[in-house]
């Protein structure tokens, strides 16, 4: 597995409107969070059938192919990938022989051992994932927390309309017996019993909260409430160009890092660390990072990884 790295520095510092979406908009969303082969990476288990999102994407045009508006010129150097130490336990998780070929195919672009190591996911933890999709990350979390831990895997009604069979097949695997299926909307993602969590993980979905008109304040408040003091809010997303803010969340499936940080910090979270193992300074950030649109560039977008904590 390719190992690129990280720079860590310390810092002081809604409900979804899916009823109004057309199928041409739904397809790139589900691709973007990984319900088919793509940057979200939640491929279906081997036992499942072809992803409905993939079928939709081939049958309908994707509006995100439009040429993006020019962004302001960058005036500062962009982060480069630097090495991050991977624990032997997390490398063993990624190397497990019983992982599916479909999941393994995504590893080179996703760097799962670095992800688990950076966010500090370990045995016995109680963690949750918002919008689990087909479960690529969910299964990794389940392996990391082990039989004494618990993973709450949340999907909303709109997502389940596309991945229910794949998600059910994922949860039927013996390795995910510690995963609790949660069917709830994004503005209120967790059941009452999901409290005092050690971590909540969001991989490549936060930008979609914008164009799906989810109440982000309510979403982040729910995550804040579910975490224990010192609990981690782990976020990875596709980087947008300076000055674009949230304007390309639908067309390019990217968000300016500054915009996301402002959202999360308004909810009371403190940035504890950031990592660069998913950074790519050669990415012009002017192309659609949704996997069906990204094609051969899949897994090569410039992404930021932020480790927030609840004080």
Q: How many domains does the chain have?
A: 1
Mean pLDDT of 141-153: 98
Query: What is the C-alpha to C-alpha distance for residues 268 and 22, in angstroms, rounded to an integer?
Result: 35
pLDDT for the residue 81: 65
Mean pLDDT of 247-268: 98
Instruction: Judge whether 9 lies within some domain.
Output: no
Mean pLDDT of 104-126: 97
CB contact at 8 A, 305 and 118: yes
Q: Which residues share a beta bridge with 270?
A: 309
pLDDT for the residue 46: 38
**Lowest-confidence segment of 9-18, 156-165, 167-176 by average pLDDT:** 9-18
Query: What is the C-alpha to C-alpha distance for residues 267 and 98, in angstroms, rounded to an integer?
Result: 39
pLDDT tens figures, 162-196: 899 999 999 999 999 999 999 999 999 999 999 99
pLDDT for the residue 229: 98
Instruction: Judge whether 94 lies within some domain.
Output: yes
Domain of residue 65, CATH code: 3.40.50.150
pLDDT for the residue 72: 55
Averaged pLDDT score across all residues of the chain: 83
Query: What is the C-alpha to C-alpha distance for residues 17 and 23, in angstroms, rounded to an integer?
Result: 13
Instruction: Judge whether 1 lies within some domain.
Output: no
Instruction: Judge whether 3 lies within some domain.
Output: no
Q: Which residues share a beta bridge with 153?
A: 129, 181
Residues whose CB is less than 8 angstroms from the CB of residue 293 and which lie 6 or more positions away in sequence, other chains included: 28, 31, 62, 64, 65, 287
- The residue segments making up the domain with residue 120 are 18-309
pLDDT for the residue 238: 98
If you compute the radius of gyration of the chain from its CA atoms, what whole number of angstroms results? Answer: 18
Helix (H, G, I), strand (E, B) or coil at 214: coil
In the predicted structure, residue 274 carries a pLDDT above the cut 60 = yes
Binned at pLDDT 50, 70 and 90, residue 68 comes out as: low
Instruction: Judge whether 2 lies within some domain.
Output: no
pLDDT tens figures, 70-93: 555 555 678 776 677 999 999 999
Mean pLDDT of 297-309: 96
pLDDT for the residue 292: 78
In the predicted structure, residue 99 carries a pLDDT above the cut 90 = yes
Helices (H) and strands (E) in the chain, counts: 11, 7
Structure tokens at 254: 């990217």
Instruction: Judge whether 8 lies within some domain.
Output: no
**Lowest-confidence segment of 12-26, 198-212, 287-301 by average pLDDT:** 12-26
């Amino acid at each position: 597995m390719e190992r690129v790295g990280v720079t860590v520095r310390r810092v002081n510092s809604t409900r979804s409107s899916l009823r109004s979406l057309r199928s041409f908009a739904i397809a790139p969303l589900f691709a973007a969070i990984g319900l088919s082969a793509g940057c979200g990476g939640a491929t279906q288990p081997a036992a499942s059938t072809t992803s409905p999102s993939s079928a939709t994407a081939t049958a309908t045009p994707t509006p995100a192919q439009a040429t993006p508006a020019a962004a302001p010129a960058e005036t500062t150097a962009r982060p480069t990938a630097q090495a991050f130490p991977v624990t032997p336990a997390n490398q063993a998780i990624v190397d497990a022989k019983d992982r599916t070929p479909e999941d393994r195919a995504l590893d080179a672009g996703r760097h799962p051992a670095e992800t688990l190591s950076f966010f500090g996911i370990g045995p016995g933890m109680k963690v949750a994932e918002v919008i689990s999709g087909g479960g690529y990350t969910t299964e990794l979390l389940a392996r990391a927390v082990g039989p004494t831990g618990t993973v709450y895997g949340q999907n909303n009604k709109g997502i389940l309309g596309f991945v229910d069979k794949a998600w059910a097949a994922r949860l039927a695997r013996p390795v995910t017996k510690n995963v609790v299926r949660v069917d709830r909307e994004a503005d209120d993602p967790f059941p009452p019993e999901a409290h005092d969590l050690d971590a909540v993980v969001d991989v490549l979905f936060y930008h979609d909260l914008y164009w799906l008109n989810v109440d982000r304040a309510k979403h982040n408040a729910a995550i804040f409430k579910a975490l224990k003091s010192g609990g981690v809010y782990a976020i990875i997303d596709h980087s947008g160009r300076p000055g674009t803010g949230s304007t390309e969340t639908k067309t390019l499936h990217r968000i300016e890092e500054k915009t996301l940080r402002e959202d999360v910090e308004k909810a009371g979270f403190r940035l504890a660390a950031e990592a660069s193992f998913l950074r790519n300074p050669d990415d012009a950030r002017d192309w659609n990072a949704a996997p069906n649109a990204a094609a051969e560039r899949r897994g090569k977008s410039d992404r930021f990884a932020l480790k927030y904590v609840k004080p």
